[in-house]
């Protein structure tokens, strides 16, 4: 089995308190606790939409050597792919490896598990 990413969903005000408590040393993150947090299911759904999960699957299966090759496989424009993958990279879902004059996308996780807090 591959790597699983723990994703947390917590309202912004609670997340702010959570991070401040950690910064002050009043709270220590528990083992297995999410390291990536979204403020709503909707914001999570934008990043891991059906279309974007399909993109991750294609990257895993085809192992494209460049964004150009990925664009050919998916039928999506390189600009669209670049924006989508850079957004996913910010969350640690993918890595974009620069190799000479190309960028090779790599998927970092095989599955996702969401933890909700309200």
* pLDDT given for residue 65 in this prediction: 93
Class of residue 58 by CB neighbours under 10 A (exposed 0-12, middle 13-18, buried 19+): middle
Query: Which pTM does this prediction carry?
Result: 0.83
Q: What stretch of H or E contains 8?
A: strand 4-9
Using one digit for the tens of pLDDT, what is the confidence trace for 19-66?
A: 899 999 999 888 878 888 898 889 999 999 999 999 999 999 999 999
CATH number corresponding to 4-116: 1.10.10.10
Domain extents in the chain: 4-116
Torsion angle of the four alpha carbons 8, 14, 18, 19, in this order, in degrees rounded to the nearest 10: 90
């Amino acid at each position: 089995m591959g790597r699983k990413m723990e994703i947390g969903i917590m309202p912004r005000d609670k997340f702010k308190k959570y991070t401040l408590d950690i910064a002050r040393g009043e709270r220590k993150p528990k083992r297995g606790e999410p390291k990536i947090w979204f403020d709503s299911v909707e914001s999570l759904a934008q990043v891991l939409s059906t279309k974007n999960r399909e993109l991750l699957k294609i990257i895993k299966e085809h192992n494209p050597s460049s964004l150009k090759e990925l664009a050919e496989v998916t039928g999506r424009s390189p600009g669209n792919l670049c924006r989508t993958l850079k957004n996913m990279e910010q969350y640690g879902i993918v890595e974009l490896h620069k190799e000479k004059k190309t960028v090779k996308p790599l998927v970092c996780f095989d599955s996702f598990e969401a933890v909700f807090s309200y």
